[in-house]
Structure 1
């Protein structure tokens, strides 16, 4: 039995599922905000708002002793906040969104390999079979949207690097969780490091000092959603799930994000769901179940 109790494990699964659902619909808010802010501005503002929210919830100070532990938090902030989102945004500038969607989805594979190398976790054959099923489903969904996967070396490499940095974030956060720190306080510290390491990039990222844009209802509403929901709440839930289930299990919920996106497109935009999309969603669900060992021979 895992160190987490049975009810706690199901709560952790629910937390990871909640993150996949919220992150699956954030593309709508980000797309709206890109008409008002530069990508780096959106990134900085959402995590600044998220850190403020976490400070309001838990204003206590997190005591971290030892340079090695400080480096763990700095590394998590660098990988999960600064590098991942900057690399993803840069990738979108050089390659197709469909390429980025597929390549970022290989993050669970990187996470599993790093967990094996750095944490000594065992990997089952079912994980790799499930990965193939889920990736095939994601490709189906991207093709269904009318996108054609074409090789764009620079952009595709940036997308792969984004997937790799998220894998490192998962491993580092797992190590932080094993040290017994409060999840909310630890997430706030990670946000702080991510924002600090983002500062050198902002002067070169097209930042505008016009603060009146924040008063626009559209801007304020979407930033609140991204800051409070997709950042503060979801990162706390994701880090909680990582501490209870481990990076290999939790990372597999990333497969569900494209599936949620299809559902959001149907509900919000009224886009039709074709047979290919249904096949893609079925493959993703099958991949997740196989990876989790829910399907027996």
Structure 2
């Protein structure tokens, strides 16, 4: 029980940083191409982790494959979808779609394990997903018509499911080294996409925009706190609190994002956001009753 409590603390610290990350990313992608922005974020985090974590792991062939897949889905695929989506949708909308991830993860993991969770957990996840649907399908989100951004964000959600499945298979290895390796290989997978994006941009990048103080601060925030430290804390939470409990924490990210979005970008929540966020909170509480 003590380990689970510590794991939940790690989860909450990460959620706060990740909730604000949608706002920071939205600021960056106005000046830096989205895929290039993601590559630079993980280049910074990988550099930090390589400098401070000097140890390595001798993986078995199958373990190395799992680590590579975790890096691809949890870093490359996830942020290809997320950063591109944020060009078409708002930070609040994006984080609320991502909060549907625990619903899909619950179904995927139960099917893979052939061991189904208590019906109360299904009820809770359904209520939370209903909250997400209210936000996405009603009010200002319908009026703004962001179907492309919403679909891309669901792609990010599915990518995170596969990341969680593969990272669980490496739980017996050192968390810090695993985080360093998956960040590095995720960054490598980004290279061809970033190169293709810049090559086909049509105009030369305006590097003066890239080095604006607000852009640099956002990059440091994303690279250090959300990525280098965030992945370490999140993987630690999965080990200590369990994958289902930790993944359910994603439900709370929209609450943080809506607050940050309101303060920093003046995107104030409407009645649909409030109703949806309430269902997300209540659904998560219900889901944990029988855990």
Asked if these proteins are the same fold (TM beyond 0.5), I'd say: yes
Name the CA distance, whole Å, in 1 between partners of 2:267 and 2:211: 31
Displacement of 1:20 after TM fit?
Answer: 1.6
Matched with 1:74 is 68
**Residue 85 (structure 1) aligned with residue 79 (structure 2):** yes
Displacement of 1:122 after TM fit?
Answer: 4.1
Q: Is the 8 A contact 1:129 1:287 kept in 2?
A: yes
**Residue 13 (structure 1) aligned with residue 8 (structure 2):** yes
**Residue 42 (structure 1) aligned with residue 30 (structure 2):** no
Question: Cα 1:98–1:281, aligned 2, differ >3 Å: closer, same or farther?
Answer: closer
Name the CA distance, whole Å, in 2 between partners of 1:183 and 1:110: 25
Matched with 1:200 is 192
Name the CA distance, whole Å, in 2 between partners of 1:276 and 1:110: 23
| Structure 2 residues without counterparts, runs of 5 or longer | none
Matched with 2:141 is 147
Question: Cα 1:172–1:287, aligned 2, differ >3 Å: closer, same or farther?
Answer: same
Question: Cα 1:244–1:168, aligned 2, differ >3 Å: closer, same or farther?
Answer: same
- Range with bigger deviation, 201-210 or 32-41: 201-210
Matched with 1:246 is 242
Cα RMSD of the aligned pairs, angstroms, is 2.9
What does residue range 1-297 of structure 1 map to in structure 2 within 5 Å?
6-58=1-53, 60-91=54-85, 101-119=95-113, 122-142=116-136, 146-148=140-142, 152=147, 157-177=151-171, 180-206=172-198, 215-269=211-265, 274-293=270-289
Instruction: Name the count of aligned residue pairs.
Output: 286
Name the CA distance, whole Å, in 1 between partners of 2:152 and 2:27: 24
Name the CA distance, whole Å, in 1 between partners of 2:89 and 2:215: 27
Over residues 64-105 of structure 1, what are the superposed CA-to-partner deviations in whole Å (9 max), with x where a residue is unaligned? 232111101100001000011112344456778777555433
Name the CA distance, whole Å, in 2 between partners of 1:161 and 1:270: 27
Question: Cα 1:257–1:99, aligned 2, differ >3 Å: closer, same or farther?
Answer: closer
| Structure 1 residues without counterparts, runs of 5 or longer | 1-5
Over residues 225-282 of structure 1, what are the superposed CA-to-partner deviations in whole Å (9 max), with x where a residue is unaligned? 0000111111111111111222222111111111112222344456655554433332
Question: Cα 1:206–1:270, aligned 2, differ >3 Å: closer, same or farther?
Answer: closer
Question: Cα 1:106–1:272, aligned 2, differ >3 Å: closer, same or farther?
Answer: closer
Q: TM-score, normalised by structure 2?
A: 0.85
Over residues 137-158 of structure 1, what are the superposed CA-to-partner deviations in whole Å (9 max), with x where a residue is unaligned? 2344456872118694x66554
- Range with bigger deviation, 16-25 or 260-269: 260-269
- Range with bigger deviation, 276-285 or 215-224: 276-285
Name the CA distance, whole Å, in 2 between partners of 1:81 and 1:272: 30
